[in-house]
């Protein structure tokens, strides 16, 4: 089955700098890659997703890139702010699989 | 609009006691339903998922079981809790008629087994 690896497990950046979180997946048939943000004590919520027919997607300060050949995708956050501090999860799924497989999560801390 | 309810929010149970966590979804029919566990400092581990009433797929062998007695109700149970069952349990749903699986999570249940 699908296996998703996420790095780093923790990331600390200065406010205003950029943060990058990377994930690799094992199943070449996977075609949907969402990213979730989980603030302390709260539920994970979808922040951005990408499908395999595109290589990059951007939404304000957040962008996701996908390299299907290498089977990896990344989350990029620019101009980081204190409210970006949270745990971020990547995930992968394929059509018909009916389930998401998550990475281990990255705890992002934005230092003022 | 669709909403998901999960309860209780927190639970402290002694080792060996039974467990029942309930999740219900409103505003959609025949959703895919999921139970995830998040151990402290760990990722989201899929425990069970269901694509219909009475249809349960187990992802990992464990001390827990799941049931779906109604279309929009998903229950996580245990007959005898272990210390290792402690964690943050999340119920989620997704639409069944999509080619991709965007999951919507409940607010979670923090279970502490003592």
Compute the CA torsion angle B84, B90, B95, B100 (nearest 10 deg).
Answer: -70
Q: Determine the distance in angstroms separating the CA of B18 from the nearest CA of chain A, rounded to an integer.
A: 25
Q: Determine the distance in angstroms separating the CA of B6 from the nearest CA of chain A, rounded to an integer.
A: 11
Q: What is the percent of chain A where pLDDT is above 70?
A: 100
Position A96 scores a pLDDT of: 74
Contact residues, chain B to chain A, C-beta under 8 Å:
32, 34, 36, 42-46, 49, 51, 90, 94, 96, 99-108
Q: Determine the distance in angstroms separating the CA of A44 from the nearest CA of chain B, rounded to an integer.
A: 6
What tokens were used for B76?
């996580």
Chain A residue with CA closest to B58: the answer is A99
- Looking at every residue in chain A, the average pLDDT score rounds to 94
Residue A89 has pLDDT above 80, yes or no: yes
At A79, the pLDDT band (50, 70, 90 cuts) reads very high
Whether B59 and B31 have beta carbons less than 8 Å apart is answered as no
- Comparing C-alpha atoms, which of B58, B63, B68, B55 is closest to residue B82? B63
At B41, the pLDDT band (50, 70, 90 cuts) reads low
Burial class (CB in 10 A: 0-12, 13-18, 19+), B31: buried
Whether A40 and A33 have beta carbons less than 8 Å apart is answered as no
Position B99 scores a pLDDT of: 63
Contact residues, chain A to chain B, C-beta under 8 Å:
6, 31-32, 34, 42-46, 49, 51, 89, 93, 95-105
**Residue from the list B34, B44, B49 with its beta carbon closest to the beta carbon of A89:** B44
Spatial separation of the C-alpha atoms in residues B23 and B43, rounded to whole Å: 21
Sort out which chain A residues have CB atoms less than 8 A from B99's CB and list them: 32, 95-96
**Residue from the list A46, A93, A102 with its beta carbon closest to the beta carbon of B43:** A102
Position A94 scores a pLDDT of: 85
- Condensed to tens digits (0 to 9), the pLDDT of residues A6-52 reads 999 999 999 999 999 999 999 999 999 999 999 988 899 999 999 98
Burial class (CB in 10 A: 0-12, 13-18, 19+), A107: middle
Buried b (16+ CB within 10 A) or exposed e, B75-108: bbebeebeeebbbbbbbbbbbeeeebbbbbbbeb
Burial class (CB in 10 A: 0-12, 13-18, 19+), B73: middle
Q: Is residue A28 within a helix (H) or strand (E), and if so which, with residue range?
A: none
Mean pLDDT of B81-90: 94
Which residues does A66 contact at the CB level (< 8 Å), separation at least 6? A33, A50, A52, A54, A55, A56, A72, A73
């Amino acid at each position: 089955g699908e296996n998703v690896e996420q790095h780093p497990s923790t990331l600390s950046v200065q406010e205003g700098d950029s943060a990058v979180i990377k994930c690799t997946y094992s199943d070449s048939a996977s075609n949907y890659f969402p990213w979730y943000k989980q603030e302390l004590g709260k539920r994970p919520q979808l922040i951005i997703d990408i499908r395999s027919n595109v290589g990059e997607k951007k939404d304000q300060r957040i962008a996701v890139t996908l390299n299907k050949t290498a089977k990896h995708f990344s989350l990029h956050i620019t101009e980081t702010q204190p409210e970006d501090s949270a745990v971020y999860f990547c995930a992968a799924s394929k059509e018909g699989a009916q389930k998401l497989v998550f990475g281990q999560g990255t705890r992002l801390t934005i230092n003022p | 609009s669709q909403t998901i309810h999960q309860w209780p929010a927190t639970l402290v149970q002694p080792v060996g006691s039974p467990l029942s966590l309930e999740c219900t979804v409103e505003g959609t029919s025949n959703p895919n339903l999921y139970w995830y566990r998040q151990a402290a400092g760990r990722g989201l581990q899929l425990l069970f998922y269901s694509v219909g009433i009475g249809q349960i797929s187990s992802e990992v062998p464990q001390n827990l079981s799941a049931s779906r007695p109604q279309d929009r109700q998903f229950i996580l149970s245990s007959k005898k809790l272990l210390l290792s069952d402690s964690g943050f349990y999340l119920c989620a749903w997704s639409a069944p008629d999509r080619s991709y699986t965007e999951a919507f999570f409940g607010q979670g249940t923090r279970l502490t087994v003592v």
